[in-house]
A and B are shown apart, each in its own frame.
Chain A
Amino acid sequence: MRWPIRVRGAHTDPADAPGDDDLFDEAFQKRLEYLALVSRRVFRGRTRAERRSRKTGTGVEFADYRRYAAGDDYRQIDWNVYGRIGRLMLRLYEEEEDLSVYILLDCSGSMAFGRPPKLRYGKQLAAALAYVALNNLDRVSITALRDGSAERLAPTRGRNRIFTVFEFLRPLQADGGTHLADAISTFAAQNKRRGVAILISDLYDPLGFEEPINALRFARFETHILRLVSPDEAEPNLHGELELVDSETGLTRQVTVTPALLARYRAAQAERDQRLEAFCGEKQVGLSTLDISVPPEEAILNVLRHGGLLA
């Protein structure tokens, strides 16, 4: 017989957590098919896709004119313009290209916190985003961040690759430290092709959240942060003489939780949220704070749409 291990505030019993076999059901997948991933920047793609690129090329959408230069394809010269102004102008068309979507999933120990665990919630988000991207013929890569390292699913495309994504996500466990900055540096080194980087994390990094976000920015990724928050950590139901245990490091602290201390905790949380929002706003980094008590379908369909990540 196996006795459940219950530690207040955390949910480490595997039997207590929902299984990963039901990351998506069929109805959920159908609803996601109608969504498209948008990006405020357009990046150059290696193959044609359903996304416009600044690169002028063989597309059908007119983009601009420029002076003819030696070596240009004279088939693109607009002779009507030459007739009106007497200069050779070249017609430029937008070329439709594919988009690289990088999903970075924090798998540190703190992601085991919450009900359901934040990691499970993050897996569902990652899988959903990957599905949408693959459905739009984008290239999707998933990276699990843990202990400063980055375990990744190589960029892939095609709708049928979603099962590969599932296979990658399913065995991921929440353990180890965070060290997001190191892990993201590793990720940037692995992925030269720029694109949209979606970081799914609770941003509980002892070194702070600024450095990892800056690491993505400096690597010229269009960065979106999906910050996962459990109601238990926003409004902890704690009181009395307690020994707090860090779910990631195992570090303990003895504390007497009083209403005053809880108020100060809430104030500290709010101040941290405020600092994060200000930082992301200043650096033009998309930030969405997701409550894991909200069903993931609702989060993806509503919160992300309103946040501008989905078209």
Chain B
Amino acid sequence: MQFTGLTLSQVLMTLGAAGGVTLLLYLLRTRRRRVQVPFIPLWESLLRDRRSSRLFQSLRHLISLLLALLVVALLTFALGDPRDREDSPDVAHQVLLIDASVTMGATDVEPNRLQVAVDQARRLVAGAGARQRILIAQVDASVTPLSPMTDDPRLLDEALDAVALSDSGADHGRALEFAAAVLAGRSGASAVLLSDRAEPLPEGPAVALADAGVDLRFVPIGRRSENVAISAFAVRRYPLDKNRSELLVELHNGSDHAERVELTLRGDGQTIDVQTLELEAGARVRRVYDDVTGVRSELEAELRAAEAGHDDLPIDDRAHAVVPERKAMRVLCVTAGNRYLEAALLLDEYMQVDVVTPAEYAGAAGYDAVIFDAARPPEPPTVPALYIDPGAVADGHTPLETRASLERPFFDRLRRKHPLLRFTAMADVNIASADALVTVPGDVVVAADRRGALVVAGEREGLRFVALGFDLRDTDLPLRVAWPLLLLNTIEWFTVDEQEQRSSLDVGESTTIELPAGVEQVTHMAPDASERTLPVRDGRVTLTPERVGFHELRWPGGRRALAAALDGSTLRPLAPAEAMVVAGRAVPPPTVPEPAPARPPWAWLALVAFALLAIEWLTFHRRWTV
């Protein structure tokens, strides 16, 4: 027995105080009223007969007082809300895991899958016995417990009311690990997962459940899969013409029949394209808009059925993206004179280039990147650096040492997926001679002759660098398109955060944004126009979007738009799971007992107290106990 309301000491203190008051009231009640009678000897003759029963009278008075004290004690203990101890072997414990991920918003069941799951959970709660404790948790990208482990129907009802649809996916593994952790060591442990998904469990959660002795049950939610979705939506700027953008839209028809849909594209709120597409059952269709101009920031795609059709999940009919910001860069070029290099640097109008000779070089403070052409700085630079032919000079700092000179090397090995080589073709570049670069662990060889590395990328003390082991003028690379691309890719790799180039974030994915110096407060405006203030730490703010749509961060003198999209892993067919398999065994559904009124012990105590009060009242007014 344990008290879940007042503590034992509080119960005892209340009992003492209330008992004292009861005793006082009792004494007041038994103070006799004075009543005049005309002839008391007549009463005396009667009282003489009653003296023999005085002892019994006193006893009856005592019984009345004891009844009152018993009522007080019962009510006081009821305030303590006594329950069976949690570790009592008779008490069963259950965790209800309610999937509130984005697909639970599907309307193939009325009103939607989530509400059906909540109703099922409500039935389980209503059927729970007096010796059953339940904890309710919402499952989406994370697990959120909404109630304590309790048998209080009011708390459980409030928890079920608090379950809200999320725009993220569901992490069942994490949810079941949570259930195993909560139920570990508890008697009668069971977990019920109410979901429309039933992926095979990873080994970790399955083992955790088995170790905790948890009886897992599964309630499948959902009826069918009729859904057409925008499964991908992304935009990027062209590397060589950042005024232009390229847009990718992918549509997926998850239904078992063809659908005719209308796709609308909007840029900064203005409609820029409308297309009608025919989607076969199960088909994925991609559309690339290769020349999206005039859009400053926000892009939105909306899908609608061109004909009367049914779409069970409306939320994936819209997608949002933000065109990556263009950022002006300052580059310092340290060279004794290299026309090819300087000409390539002029291609990007958003790049401000300063050229100095090696003798004039006095540091790169204030620049975003520095290029050393046949030159070495006396000290390591404080910004990312490109070293071209570092072996040409002997003195100064270089991140890489050079080895023997190679005659007519070729790019035998190219790391084509490296950002430096994006959109380039360098396999047939002719090089007269080059120095082989000596790498250290952690360096990435981007291009190499079989005799040694020719292009290396890496980091030194947190700063990126790229080294070319040859003089441009000893190659035909400057005559190729690949040269300015390689140079601009290098500058971009130095200065542009990959994160900033993404047109949208996944819901639930955190991103950290650098803020201008002096910004101490950032306001976040969510797609539903709600606002909240985000903390700023070390000049950065971290945002984790929870809703699909455009998010905006504002601070004094600036703003940043971000788009949040559904996690790609959630955009799978809507088909509901029929069964869940763990360790080769189908998880059975829970038994839903008939709703039984589970009256907590305090209610019984109060009932007994009121019954005693009624008896005391009756006996008092019937003059049995007075």
Which of B29, B32, B39, B46 sits near A254, CB closer than 8 Å?
A: B32
Closest to B44 in A: A253
Given contacts A239-B623, A241-B30, A251-B40, contact A268 B45 (CB under 8 A): yes
A245 near B35: Cβ-Cβ < 8 Å? yes
User: CB of B558 within 8 A of chain A?
Assistant: no
Give the residues in chain A near B38, CB-CB below 8 Å.
110, 113-114, 202, 204, 230, 233, 246-248
Give the residues in chain A near B46, CB-CB below 8 Å.
261, 264-265, 268
Closest-CB distance, B324 to chain A (whole angstroms): 91
User: CB of B33 within 8 A of chain A?
Assistant: yes
Give the residues in chain A near B440, CB-CB below 8 Å.
none
What CA separation (Å) do A242 and B36 show in the bound complex? 10
The residue in B32, B37, B39 that gathers the most chain A C-beta atoms within 10 A of its C-beta is B37
User: CB of B21 within 8 A of chain A?
Assistant: no
Chain A residues numbered 143-180 whose CB sits less than 8 Å from any CB in chain B: none
A244 near B39: Cβ-Cβ < 8 Å? no
A242 near B44: Cβ-Cβ < 8 Å? no
User: CB of B147 within 8 A of chain A?
Assistant: no
Closest to A246 in B: B40
B34 near A249: Cβ-Cβ < 8 Å? no
Q: Is the interface of A mostly helix, strand, loop or mixed?
A: mixed
Closest to A8 in B: B35
Closest to A244 in B: B37
B40 near A242: Cβ-Cβ < 8 Å? no
Closest-CB distance, B58 to chain A (whole angstroms): 11
A246 near B37: Cβ-Cβ < 8 Å? yes
Give the residues in chain A near B35, CB-CB below 8 Å.
7-9, 238, 242-245
B40 near A268: Cβ-Cβ < 8 Å? no
User: CB of B142 within 8 A of chain A?
Assistant: no
B47 near A242: Cβ-Cβ < 8 Å? no
Closest to A202 in B: B38
Chain B residues numbered 97-139 whose CB sits less than 8 Å from any CB in chain A: none
Given contacts A253-B47, A272-B42, contact A241 B626 (CB under 8 A): yes
What CA separation (Å) do A88 and B33 show in the bound complex? 81
User: CB of A269 within 8 A of chain B?
Assistant: yes
Give the residues in chain B near A8, CB-CB below 8 Å.
33-36
A 1-20 binary contact with B (CB < 8 Å = 1; else 0) = 00000011110100000000
Give the residues in chain B near A113, CB-CB below 8 Å.
36-38
A243 near B39: Cβ-Cβ < 8 Å? no
Closest to B57 in A: A256
A9 near B42: Cβ-Cβ < 8 Å? no
Closest to A256 in B: B626
Give the residues in chain A near B623, CB-CB below 8 Å.
239-240, 256-260
Give the residues in chain A near B36, CB-CB below 8 Å.
7-10, 12, 113, 244-247
What CA separation (Å) do A264 and B45 show in the bound complex? 10
What CA separation (Å) do A230 and B39 show in the bound complex? 12
User: CB of A307 within 8 A of chain B?
Assistant: no
Closest to A247 in B: B36
What CA separation (Å) do A247 and B41 show in the bound complex? 12
User: CB of A231 within 8 A of chain B?
Assistant: no
The residue in B38, B43, B47 that gathers the most chain A C-beta atoms within 10 A of its C-beta is B38
Closest-CB distance, A55 to chain B (whole angstroms): 44
Closest to B624 in A: A258
B32 near A243: Cβ-Cβ < 8 Å? yes
B37 near A240: Cβ-Cβ < 8 Å? no
User: CB of A301 within 8 A of chain B?
Assistant: no
User: CB of B50 within 8 A of chain A?
Assistant: yes
User: CB of A308 within 8 A of chain B?
Assistant: no
Closest-CB distance, B150 to chain A (whole angstroms): 47
User: CB of A281 within 8 A of chain B?
Assistant: no
Closest to B33 in A: A242
Interface residues of B toward A: which range? 20 to 34
Which of B31, B40, B626 sits near A253, CB closer than 8 Å?
A: B40
Chain B residues numbered 3-44 whose CB sits less than 8 Å from any CB in chain A: 29-44
User: CB of A206 within 8 A of chain B?
Assistant: yes
B41 near A268: Cβ-Cβ < 8 Å? no
Given contacts A113-B38, A247-B37, contact A265 B43 (CB under 8 A): yes
What CA separation (Å) do A249 and B44 show in the bound complex? 14
What CA separation (Å) do A257 and B46 show in the bound complex? 11
Give the residues in chain B near A248, CB-CB below 8 Å.
38-39
Chain A residues numbered 95-140 whose CB sits less than 8 Å from any CB in chain B: 110, 113-114
Closest-CB distance, B38 to chain A (whole angstroms): 4
B34 near A243: Cβ-Cβ < 8 Å? yes
User: CB of A255 within 8 A of chain B?
Assistant: yes
What CA separation (Å) do A241 and B626 show in the bound complex? 7
Closest-CB distance, B625 to chain A (whole angstroms): 10
A268 near B42: Cβ-Cβ < 8 Å? yes
What CA separation (Å) do A239 and B624 show in the bound complex? 12
What CA separation (Å) do A260 and B271 show in the bound complex? 97
B40 near A244: Cβ-Cβ < 8 Å? yes
Given contacts A8-B35, A113-B36, contact A255 B43 (CB under 8 A): yes
What CA separation (Å) do A269 and B36 show in the bound complex? 17
What CA separation (Å) do A257 and B37 show in the bound complex? 13
Closest to A236 in B: B37
Give the residues in chain B near A238, CB-CB below 8 Å.
35
What CA separation (Å) do A9 and B37 show in the bound complex? 6
What CA separation (Å) do A10 and B46 show in the bound complex? 21
Closest-CB distance, B211 to chain A (whole angstroms): 69
Give the residues in chain A near B34, CB-CB below 8 Å.
7-8, 242-243, 245, 252
Closest to A10 in B: B36
Give the residues in chain B near A9, CB-CB below 8 Å.
35-37
What CA separation (Å) do A202 and B39 show in the bound complex? 10
Give the residues in chain A near B50, CB-CB below 8 Å.
261
A253 near B43: Cβ-Cβ < 8 Å? yes
Give the residues in chain B near A269, CB-CB below 8 Å.
42
What CA separation (Å) do A108 and B38 show in the bound complex? 10
B 37-74 binary contact with A (CB < 8 Å = 1; else 0) = 11111111111011000000100000000000000000
Closest to A7 in B: B36
Closest-CB distance, A236 to chain B (whole angstroms): 7
Closest to A241 in B: B32
Closest to A118 in B: B38
Closest to B40 in A: A246
A255 near B47: Cβ-Cβ < 8 Å? yes
Closest to B39 in A: A204
Give the residues in chain B near A265, CB-CB below 8 Å.
42-43, 46
Given contacts A254-B32, A255-B47, contact A240 B39 (CB under 8 A): no
What CA separation (Å) do A240 and B33 show in the bound complex? 9
A110 near B47: Cβ-Cβ < 8 Å? no
Which of B30, B37, B47 sits near A245, CB closer than 8 Å?
A: B37
Give the residues in chain B near A7, CB-CB below 8 Å.
34-36
B33 near A258: Cβ-Cβ < 8 Å? no
Closest-CB distance, B609 to chain A (whole angstroms): 24
Closest-CB distance, B611 to chain A (whole angstroms): 23
Closest-CB distance, A202 to chain B (whole angstroms): 7
Give the residues in chain B near A257, CB-CB below 8 Å.
623
Give the residues in chain B near A204, CB-CB below 8 Å.
38-39
Closest-CB distance, A65 to chain B (whole angstroms): 55
Closest to B622 in A: A259
What CA separation (Å) do A258 and B39 show in the bound complex? 19
Give the residues in chain B near A252, CB-CB below 8 Å.
34, 40
Give the residues in chain B near A258, CB-CB below 8 Å.
623, 626
A110 near B39: Cβ-Cβ < 8 Å? yes
Closest to B49 in A: A264
Give the residues in chain A near B44, CB-CB below 8 Å.
253
What CA separation (Å) do A259 and B622 show in the bound complex? 8
- 19 A-B pairs besides A206-B41, A257-B623 with CB distance below 8 A are A8-B35, A9-B37, A110-B38, A110-B39, A202-B38, A230-B38, A236-B37, A241-B33, A242-B35, A243-B34, A244-B40, A246-B39, A249-B40, A253-B40, A255-B47, A259-B623, A261-B50, A265-B46, A269-B42
10 A–B contacts from the bound complex (CB under 8 Å): A7-B35, A9-B36, A110-B39, A113-B36, A238-B35, A241-B626, A242-B35, A245-B36, A253-B47, A255-B47
Q: List the interface of chain B (C-beta within 8 A of A).
A: 29-47, 49-50, 57, 623, 626
Closest 7 A/B residue pairs (Cβ) = A10-B36, A204-B39, A246-B40, A113-B38, A258-B623, A243-B32, A110-B38
